[in-house]
Homo-oligomer: A and B are copies of this chain.
């Protein structure tokens, strides 16, 4: 499976690239607005994987070129860049490619972090509105702490929730998620259920901030 991580120079992209390189052998393509940044990140991730005994080829391209090369395109960009990023790559997506969105809208105030969705109702809905009609959108990987994901020596032992209206695409992304050791994929229903899933992101930050012995938190449904 060829996976493009748009915004793959950021911390979520790094974590997913390293985990897919380490636990599986997917063809990972790093995308960035600046192709030099994408090349540099790809080289860095290759080095990390090599130091963990994995000889993987990771490539880097400008976002649209990265999307063009992939079957699954992960929007690992901040929520305020999600719509622009989809617009910038839309004509490079083929029918049947899958767009994956892990972003959640957050706002911080003096009390903590709060869920602050865009006017579409959720970041997931924003992506679905911007995506070409023949490209299914799947929400996934919201509740993963980027630092823990990128630390290949750290056990995950957490769940990720999948959102989507296309069962085949959801199954594909569930498979990719479960290729990562310690990550269990659970179905949270259709795209309309996204707000409650995205709300986990600020909640996890708040819980980590208020409990001394917890950090880089994930969640397990049991």
Interface residues on A, range: 35 or more
CB-nearest residue of chain B relative to A197? B203
Q: Is A78 an interface residue (CB 8 A)?
A: no
Q: Mark A185-213, 1 if CB is under 8 A from B, else 0.
A: 01111101101110110111011011100
Pair B196/A202 contact, Cβ less than 8 Å:
yes
Q: Is A131 an interface residue (CB 8 A)?
A: no
30 inter-chain pairs at a CB distance below 8 angstroms, sorted by A residue, are A111-B189, A111-B192, A112-B189, A112-B190, A112-B192, A114-B192, A114-B193, A115-B195, A115-B199, A157-B222, A158-B222, A161-B203, A161-B207, A186-B207, A186-B211, A187-B207, A187-B211, A188-B203, A189-B209, A189-B210, A193-B203, A195-B199, A196-B202, A196-B203, A197-B203, A214-B221, A217-B221, A219-B221, A220-B221, A220-B222
